[in-house]
Structure formats: C-alpha cells, structure tokens
Amino acid sequence: KAGVTQTPRYLIKTRGQQVTLSCSPISGHRSVSWYQQTPGQGLQFLFEYFSETQRNKGNFPGRFSGRQFSNSRSEMNVSTLELGDSALYLCASSLGGVGYEQYFGPGTRLTVT
C-alpha cells in the first residue's frame, strides 16, 4: 500500500505571495491532518479534514486554510506569506475518528525569502 505523498517537496517563495501544498492520503483513509514544524515551536497542529469537512482547527491565523476533495486528497493554502511561515509542513492521514494511528508524509519544505 502506498504511503502518504506530499507535493511539492520543496518550495521557495517571496514574502507576500501565496502557496498551495498538496497531500494524498493512504488509500482508504478519510482523515487528513496538517502540521507545521519549526525549530522554535516544534510540531503544531493546523487543521484536520474528514469527508471534505474541517472538523478541527489549531491556533493559526486565517491566512492558513485548507480543503479536502471527495477522493480524500487535501490541499492547504497560505496567503500573504511571511518570513515566519518558513517551515516543514507535514500532513498525516488516518482512518478517521479519534485515536486512530496517524501516518505522516515526507513533508513540504517551504522557504519564504
């Protein structure tokens, strides 16, 4: 079974631009969660989608948004990029519900200059 895939793997953007990251979950998984990882803050939860609905959201500004498609693939978008948005963005998939094991993708490394 294929694992979680994320595209692109690396991105360089300029302040003020916007960016879209993509995540394809493990086949059969309906839940996708997104996390931001930085050296200073560690891993922080952004949001979770299940069956195209956002069920949970972390404490991030509205510039961070996401969506999920009917095939469970998910995208996250960051608008008006700031230098502090430079991070490794990880997505994870699971069967859904609370407490199911999460499986992580390789991440997208975003650098904002």
Footprint on this chain of another protein (rule: CB under 8 A):
4, 31-33, 35, 42-45, 47-50, 55-56, 58, 88, 90, 92, 94, 97-99, 101-107, 109
Please report, for residues 19, 76, 86, 103, 104, the alpha-carbon distance to residue 2 in angstroms, rounded to integers and kept in the order given.
Answer: 26, 21, 28, 11, 12
Residue (3 or 61) nearer to another protein, CB: 3
Residue (24 or 94) nearer to another protein, CB: 94
Contact 95, 31 (CB under 8 A): yes
* CB of residue 54 to another protein, shortest distance in Å: 10
Residue (48 or 85) nearer to another protein, CB: 48
* CB of residue 99 to another protein, shortest distance in Å: 4
Residue (10 or 17) nearer to another protein, CB: 10
Beta strands at 103-104 and 87-94: parallel, antiparallel or unpaired:
antiparallel
Please report, for residues 6, 58, 105, the alpha-carbon distance to residue 97 in angstroms, rounded to integers and kept in the order given.
Answer: 22, 17, 19
* CB of residue 84 to another protein, shortest distance in Å: 18
Question: What is the Cα–Cα distance from 82 to 37, expressed in whole angstroms?
Answer: 15
